[in-house]
Structure 1
Amino acid sequence: MIKKETIIINEIRHGYIMCEQDKKAPVILYLHGGPGSPEYPIFQSQLNSSYLCEFNVCYYDHRGCGLSFNKKSELSLDLLIEDILDITKYLIEKYDKKKIILVAHSFGTYLGIKAVQSHPEYYSAYVGISQITNVRESEKRIYNDLLQVCKEKKDYKGRKLLKKNKRSSSKLSNHYMQNVKGRLLKRYQLGLTREPLPTYFMIQKLFSFPQYSFKNKLEYCKGLIHSSRLLFSMTKDINLFQNSCDFKVPIYFIHGIYDYQVSLPLGKEYFGQLDSPKKELIIFEESAHFPNFEEPDKFNEILNSLFSVEQV
């Protein structure tokens, strides 16, 4: 059963899509990327019917976007992490669980890994998809990788564009991220997905998503702009290498080999420093930034093998 739900926490409305199978099944809290980009409304129709069919999955829309849109509410990374902990406690109580599984993607991985580290007692495991580590260093490496790609492809205009915008790349300006990096990633299918997305794909999927009202769809667009404007500058200085790498829960990283949104080599370095009861890095060979949506059967199989009902 797929249903739209909202709850009030600390006088703020929080919304989510709940894919409920059986209340006895393990519960997954899924944190989307962005900032401000709930993924389930966009990719829901791409997923097969067996996707995470053995779990109760809560696709939570972060404060300030999607079903949780409110342009008057405060936005900060710390507040988002607090919200995640509150939602976690709510799900534990609602489904009568001792712990739940936390799955996060891209921007959500920073929030997720901080939540898991601060309150490991709430979580049986953490899965980071396209894990963020050190944003500035990641972008520096991707800039150099793109120079190499352009050289190999004999894309002299692309190399010239990158070199012309080297200073703006170090500042992570909106112009560089959207019009330089974004353009080249799309050209070489190294961005969101390995296979190119049709023109207006996201708009079409959003406005055909049945669980969102028309108002929800407009608020999705407003929330994307609102969240990006207020939170993007805060994400630039994220550096998990500066924090403790000790964790008390199993840690799993999943990364697409063609992902140039987040540096895979840097993710491997961070993964190597992690100390946890169990850890595993899983590479998807046919994916870019969305391995869970690009290879849903493989993702589903991995989560089912890691988190069977008996294990959780």
Structure 2
Amino acid sequence: MLGTIIAAAAAPAAGLLGHRQLKRAAHAKRLRITTPNGIDESGFVRIGGIDQWISIRGDDLCNPVILEIHGGPGASNLVFAPRTRDWERHFTIVRWDMRGAGKTFGRTGQDGQGEMSLKRLHRDAVEVTQHVRARLAVEKVLLVANSFGSFLGLRLARSHPELYSAYVGTDQNINAGGRDHTAYHALADRLDKTGKYKELTALTAMGTDKSAWDLKQWSHYNKLLITSDLLTFNTMKTVVVSSLWSSPLHTLRELRTYMQGQTFSERVAPESTTIDEWAEGTVFQIPFFVFQGEHDVFTPSESARRFFDDVTAPVKDFALIEDASHFAALRHPDRFLDLMLTKVRPLITRELISL
């Protein structure tokens, strides 16, 4: 989804290979797990008929297990491991590169990804969950979904409450069957106020019906969202691009593959436009949390809040992360961790004890 803007922002860094190596070395040192009951393993697992990359990291296997459902589509969270290292002191973090994303895409390229659809990703996610439960000998895992992955996360939370101890959505996407145009109209207002009339004309010509957009229009819309908002653009540079460039877990070739996977995975995005979260269900049998960036222009907090207010769950909570747009949990990993430790972990720890 963001491959074009990432490539453009990363290009000036081509002459900074020495600096990259220093940053990678520092991050690699930070990522070392030396605790006696820790885990640091990664590799390909056969999921849905293809090899898919799964990373499992944490300082203590007695901690609750998080399964992350990354966004994009096609935007693996593995590059953010150094930023979220402190999470691993309190949780065992499972990061899965979906088909079409990251190392999974790099394994066989676009011809080896098989079916690309939300239904296929849902089935894959259930298989990954079962693999993690067996590998770590846990009854349930904590489901944490961000951005595009939160479409999938909500479906998993609804359909398989027996597998998950709670649901946490961040950069929470809420589609209403094409009825909610909050992000579109806010973008139009920003373009108008800043005098970007050429971009506003192009946006207006696209119309509000995202189901009618082609992939080029999707890409252009996402670029406008990023470049029209200073906080979002700053986050893209200082969090996303910086994490990509300095990842000790990826070679330069893999970074190119990462962006190619995002471009390839964009074909799944239009399918999400038909989702109506209210029609799919507002009743959840597991605790339900949304931790959203206060100024998110991609997935507005107002839309997430409207859905949250209609949710029925055993426990639910909503929190805004200040000074954050999209990628809120990654811009402020300390604040997100604090929310996880104060609101979520005590609840699921009590549940684990009672099992």
TM-score by length of 2: 0.77
1:295 to 2:332 alignment: yes
Residue equivalent to 1:38: 76
Residue of 244, 264, 276 corresponding to 1:206: 244
Residue of 143, 151, 154 corresponding to 1:102: 143
The 2-side partners of 1:9 and 1:168 are apart by 34
Residue of 78, 99, 102 corresponding to 1:66: 102
RMSD: 2.7
Alignment of 1:224-303 (within 5 A): 224-229=262-267, 231-303=268-340
The 1-side partners of 2:147 and 2:193 are apart by 28
One-letter amino acid matched to 1:62: M
Residue equivalent to 2:189: 148
Alignment of 1:56-95 (within 5 A): 56-69=92-105, 70=108, 71=110, 72=112, 73-95=114-136
One-letter amino acid matched to 2:334: D
**Is the Cα contact below 8 Å between 1:3 and 1:17 reproduced in 2?**
yes
**Is the Cα contact below 8 Å between 1:194 and 1:286 reproduced in 2?**
no
**Is the Cα contact below 8 Å between 1:135 and 1:235 reproduced in 2?**
no
Q: Pick closer, same or farther for the CA change 1:284–1:199 going to 2, 3 Å.
A: closer
> Any idea what SS the aligned residue of 1:132 has?
coil
Q: Pick closer, same or farther for the CA change 1:103–1:201 going to 2, 3 Å.
A: closer
> Any idea what SS the aligned residue of 1:307 has?
helix
**Is the Cα contact below 8 Å between 1:165 and 1:176 reproduced in 2?**
yes
Q: Pick closer, same or farther for the CA change 1:150–1:214 going to 2, 3 Å.
A: closer
Residue equivalent to 2:87: 51
Write the deviation string for residues 160-202 of structure 1: whole angstroms up to 9, x where unpaired: 4443443786734434433355235323225xx3635439963
Residue equivalent to 2:10: none
Per-residue deviation at 1:109?
0.6
> Any idea what SS the aligned residue of 2:137 has?
coil
Q: Which moved more, 1:215-224 or 1:297-306?
A: 215-224
The 1-side partners of 2:196 and 2:47 are apart by 51
Q: Pick closer, same or farther for the CA change 1:157–1:175 going to 2, 3 Å.
A: same
> Any idea what SS the aligned residue of 1:275 has?
coil
Residue equivalent to 1:195: 234
The 2-side partners of 1:124 and 1:156 are apart by 48
Per-residue deviation at 1:213?
4.9
Q: Which moved more, 1:157-166 or 1:256-265?
A: 157-166
The 1-side partners of 2:123 and 2:304 are apart by 25
The 2-side partners of 1:236 and 1:261 are apart by 14
Identify unmatched segments of 5+ residues in structure 1.
none
**Is the Cα contact below 8 Å between 2:45 and 2:52 reproduced in 1?**
yes
Q: Which moved more, 1:110-119 or 1:219-228?
A: 219-228
One-letter amino acid matched to 1:54: H
**Is the Cα contact below 8 Å between 2:211 and 2:274 reproduced in 1?**
no
Q: Which moved more, 1:279-288 or 1:231-240?
A: 231-240
Aligned pair count? Answer: 306
> Any idea what SS the aligned residue of 1:265 has?
helix
The 2-side partners of 1:61 and 1:295 are apart by 22
Write the deviation string for residues 237-259 of structure 1: whole angstroms up to 9, x where unpaired: 22212212111000001111211
Residue equivalent to 2:166: 125
1:7 to 2:48 alignment: no
Write the deviation string for residues 71-105 of structure 1: whole angstroms up to 9, x where unpaired: 33222111111111111111112212111100000
Identify unmatched segments of 5+ residues in structure 2.
1-32, 34-39
Alignment of 1:176-191 (within 5 A): 176-180=217-221, 182-189=223-230
Q: Aligned residues: percent identity? A: 25
Per-residue deviation at 1:212?
3.1
> Any idea what SS the aligned residue of 1:121 has?
coil
**Is the Cα contact below 8 Å between 1:117 and 1:248 reproduced in 2?**
yes
The 2-side partners of 1:167 and 1:235 are apart by 14
Q: Pick closer, same or farther for the CA change 1:166–1:130 going to 2, 3 Å.
A: same
Q: Pick closer, same or farther for the CA change 1:167–1:307 going to 2, 3 Å.
A: closer
**Is the Cα contact below 8 Å between 1:172 and 1:236 reproduced in 2?**
no
Write the deviation string for residues 140-162 of structure 1: whole angstroms up to 9, x where unpaired: 22221123334444555554444
The 2-side partners of 1:199 and 1:125 are apart by 31
The 2-side partners of 1:128 and 1:251 are apart by 8
The 1-side partners of 2:294 and 2:101 are apart by 29
One-letter amino acid matched to 2:289: Y
